[in-house]
């Protein structure tokens, strides 16, 4: 199947894709965009609208209010006055009428919220927050710590407890994370690998979607520009499909290699020192595995996208046909994301060795847990088998589809094509 005709097609594909402005721009822009999005997301989450938030803290006992005021002084959000707090002492009985007075201010958001800390909080730690947006996680997060601290201190100050013990009670649990692996024994784990898991998942996901839809467009274009019959008089449909897949796969893998080159440099050289917490625990062999598995997977997906392209006459029609294959990329993406939350997720464990899914899931998995060698081999064999099984079927549909014009075919018809002697 690989002969001078296929090679000519591969060369043309490479010339069109690899040397195109689009490729160069995408290769450079994607990492920037990714960091841009992460940055934007962080920015949006921390964005206060630039204006100060005013909050009134009402306590039943003046002493509690004073303590809280003193405690809050050291907090960054009070210091930079992104939150301005004022303290009032009031009985719980007066609160209802006070809330009525302040109602308009709360509605107009000139006052962000009123927090009421009754004396009973010293027994049950129940406090009340009145606001137009009472679910503001940020706001509550900010006050949760200091209020708790003041309540705890006040509570224990009346009891005769040594300061060391109080200190102990105040402390949060500090978990130091260790990763147990076969080769290296017990090792302290930073969150460098968490970053890697995200990075691999996103890059694989985006690349598959991008290369796939490019392949589909390219097939549709050949069909609608009527190039296809000229081509088919020189190359067989299988040679054409193989040539296009190989050309795009080379492009995609090369792009992935460029994207991963910072990671490869970080793990293979000592030129850049990362803080200990961010140390990347991934081997060159694993990166190689990622590329090989990606190569096989990309070729398979490209075959599917190319086939979908051949069935339809226009990108609009193809959109609907593309969905099943998109799901084969999107679902593994979400499995991979869920695994980042919980690496021992059994669905992720199984899907890391299933066809299609393993391409995205396994690379994330290998950064989070110790994956035995046999699992890598299984996923490669499974993906290779999928490619070998799918290619002839895809080639059959592709051949019929390319010369199919007119009415949009039904799926049942497409399945019949497989049996056609065309």
Partner 1 sequence: MIALEVKNLRKTFGNLVAVDDASFEVPEGSIFGLLGRNGAGKTTTIRMIMNIYLPESGEVIYKGIQSGPEFNSKVGYLPEERGLYKKMKVIDTLNFFAEVKGKTGRTVAKKAKEYLERFELADRANSKIEDLSKGNQQKVQFIATILHDPEILILDELFSGLDPINTNLLKEIILEMKEKGKVILFSTHIMDFAEKMCDHIAIIDKGKIKLNGSMRDIKKKYSQGNVSLNYEGDISFLSGHPLVEQISDYGNTTGIKLKNADESQDLLKLLVERGINVKRFDANDISLQEIFIDTVGKEKNNGGAL
Q: By CB under 8 A, name the binding residues for partner 1.
A: 4-5, 8-9, 11-12, 15-16, 225-227, 229-236, 403, 421-422
CB of 304 to partner 1, least distance (A): 23
Q: Would you say 18 or 166 has its CB closer to partner 1? A: 18
- Give the CA radius of gyration of the chain: 30
CB of 398 to partner 1, least distance (A): 13
Q: Can you say how many angstroms the Cα of residue 360 is from the centroid of all Cα atoms in its chain?
A: 11
CB of 405 to partner 1, least distance (A): 8
Q: Would you say 131 or 248 has its CB closer to partner 1? A: 248
Q: Would you say 22 or 372 has its CB closer to partner 1? A: 22
Q: Would you say 4 or 272 has its CB closer to partner 1? A: 4
CA atoms of 207 and 322, how far apart (whole Å): 16
CB of 246 to partner 1, least distance (A): 15
Q: Would you say 24 or 377 has its CB closer to partner 1? A: 24
CB of 227 to partner 1, least distance (A): 5
CB of 392 to partner 1, least distance (A): 16
Does residue 307 contact residue 398 with C-beta atoms inside 8 Å? yes
Does residue 302 contact residue 248 with C-beta atoms inside 8 Å? yes
Does residue 368 contact residue 391 with C-beta atoms inside 8 Å? no
CB of 316 to partner 1, least distance (A): 19
Q: Would you say 18 or 267 has its CB closer to partner 1? A: 18
Q: Would you say 57 or 235 has its CB closer to partner 1? A: 235
C-alpha dist (Å) from residue 140 to 13, 70, 134, 209, 350: 56, 18, 9, 39, 39
Q: Where are the beta strands (DSSP E) in 119-183?
A: 128-131, 178-181
Q: Where are the beta strands (DSSP E) in 96-251?
A: 113-117, 128-131, 178-181, 185-188
C-alpha atoms less than 13 angstroms from C-alpha of 312 in its C-beta half-sphere: 17
b/e map 50-68, b = 16+ CB within 10 Å: eeebbbbbbbbeeebbebb
């Amino acid at each position: 199947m690989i002969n001078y005709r296929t090679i000519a097609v591969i060369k043309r594909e490479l010339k069109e894709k690899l040397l195109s402005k689009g490729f160069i721009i995408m290769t450079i822009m994607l990492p920037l965009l990714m960091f841009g999005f992460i940055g934007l997301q962080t920015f949006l989450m921390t964005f206060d609208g630039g204006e100060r938030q005013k909050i009134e803290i009402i306590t039943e006992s003046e002493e509690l209010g004073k303590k809280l005021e003193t405690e809050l002084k050291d907090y960054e959000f009070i210091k930079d006055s992104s939150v301005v707090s004022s303290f009032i002492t009031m009985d719980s009985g007066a609160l209802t009428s006070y809330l009525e007075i302040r109602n308009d201010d709360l509605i107009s958001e000139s006052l962000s919220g009123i927090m009421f800390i009754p004396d009973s909080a010293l027994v049950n730690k129940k406090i009340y927050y009145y606001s137009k947006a009472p679910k503001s996680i940020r706001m509550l997060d900010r006050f949760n710590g200091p209020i708790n601290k003041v309540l705890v201190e006040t509570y224990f100050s009346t009891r005769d407890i040594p300061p060391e013990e109080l200190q102990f009670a105040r402390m949060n649990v500090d978990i130091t994370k260790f990763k147990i692996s076969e080769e290296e024994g017990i090792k302290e784990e930073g969150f460098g690998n968490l970053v890697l898991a995200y990075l691999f998942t996103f890059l694989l996901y985006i690349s598959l979607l991008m290369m796939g839809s490019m392949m589909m467009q390219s097939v549709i274009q050949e069909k609608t520009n009527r190039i296809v019959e000229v081509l088919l008089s020189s190359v067989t449909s299988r040679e054409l499909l193989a040539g296009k897949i190989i050309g795009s796969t080379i492009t995609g893998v090369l792009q992935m290699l460029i994207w991963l080159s910072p990671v490869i440099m970080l793990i293979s050289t000592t030129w850049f020192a990362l803080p200990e917490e961010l140390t990347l625990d991934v081997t060159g062999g694993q990166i190689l595995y990622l590329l090989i598995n990606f190569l096989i997977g990309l070729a398979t997906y490209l075959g599917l996208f190319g086939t979908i392209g051949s069935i339809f006459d226009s990108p609009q029609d193809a959109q609907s046909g593309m969905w099943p294959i998109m799901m084969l990329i999107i679902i593994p993406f979400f499995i991979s994301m869920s695994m980042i939350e919980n690496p021992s997720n059994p669905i992720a464990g199984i899907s890391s060795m299933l066809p299609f899914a393993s391409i995205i899931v396994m690379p994330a998995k290998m950064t989070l847990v110790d994956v035995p060698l046999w699992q890598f081999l299984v996923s490669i064999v499974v993906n290779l088998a999928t490619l070998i099984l799918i290619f002839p079927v895809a080639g059959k549909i592709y051949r019929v589809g390319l010369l199919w014009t007119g009415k949009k075919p039904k799926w049942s018809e497409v399945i019949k094509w497989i049996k056609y002697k065309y």
